[in-house]
Structure 1
Amino acid sequence: MSPTRSTTHGLVLLIGTVALGLGSRRYPAALPAFVSTYAGDVLWASMVFWLLTLVRPTGARGTLAAIAFTIAVAVEISQRYHVPWLDALRASRLGALVLGQGFLWSDIVCYAVGVTLAAVLDGILAGRRHRAVTGAWPPRDRRG
């Protein structure tokens, strides 16, 4: 049985992730070079995971993580495809933030890290919700 996630927590995590991601792109000089280089991609993939938890609040964590990673990789691979209308879309600020601008293998590593971090945080929150409701830790599978 998959946990039901709090929509409020999901929205807060989504908004917080977007804010951190935009901040990392807007103020890169305020961050160490390594962080400013990769934080946006890590947070972008985390954002995809949080979006999926809002769409499927009872979805299995592993399944949602796999879907989020697949979406992120698909968007990255799409950056190798160039047609005028798509390049024009990517040239806009919003298009660049959502679709990216150029394929990088390092982005795929960042996506794996971002999805993993989001899934781990989701698991921690699930444990806390379970403990708050039942007073028990760890959550136990109630199937037979």
Structure 2
Amino acid sequence: MKYLLAVLVCIMLGIGSRMNTSALPDFVVKHFGDALWAAMIYFGVRALFIRMLTMKALLISLGFCFVIECSQLYQAQWIINLRDTLFGGLILGKGFLYADLARYIVGAIAAYALDRLLKETEQP
């Protein structure tokens, strides 16, 4: 349940970082959306596979993010049309950027670190 809540928080913050661009610092607008997307993927993996080791969840979520980013190099018309939809664009992205890979690493590692920190504080 806590991981689903974390997914929702990441979605809300990520969409907020894309909608309120004039009210946010440029650094936040430029980098946080992709980092939050990767964090959302990490928490989604944890929600689906609750007993999975956190390191394995981190590696799977990073692999997923990298595959999605690399898929943006594929430019067939049908997938371009899909990316031009709201949900297609949010899930598949628009264009490949090496910087996005770094943002994914930061976001997924931040989610992993938060997960580990909260696990340590839960245990007696």
Shorter-chain TM range is over 0.9
Structure label with greater radius of gyration:
1
Under a length normalisation based on structure 2, what TM-score does the superposition of the two structures give? 0.97
**Residue number among 84, 87, 97 corresponding to 1:94 in the alignment:** 87
Two-structure CA RMSD over aligned residues (Å)? 0.7
Per the TM alignment, residue 24 of structure 1 is displaced from its structure 2 partner at its CA by 0.4
Distance of 1:120 and 1:106 partners within structure 2: 21
* Number of the residue aligned with 2:97: 104
Letter in 2 for 1:70: G
Per the TM alignment, residue 87 of structure 1 is displaced from its structure 2 partner at its CA by 0.4
User: Are 2:43 and 1:50 equivalent residues in the alignment?
Assistant: yes
Distance of 1:105 and 1:32 partners within structure 2: 22
- Count residues with an aligned counterpart: 124
**Residue number among 53, 61, 72 corresponding to 2:54 in the alignment:** 61
Letter in 1 for 2:104: Y
Q: Normalized per residue, which structure has more helix?
A: 2
Per the TM alignment, residue 92 of structure 1 is displaced from its structure 2 partner at its CA by 0.6
State, as a whole percentage, how many aligned pairs show the same letter: 32
User: Secondary structure, in 3 states, of the residue corresponding to 2:75?
Assistant: coil
User: Are 2:104 and 1:116 equivalent residues in the alignment?
Assistant: no
Q: Which runs of 4+ in 1 moved over 6 A?
A: none
Letter in 1 for 2:6: L
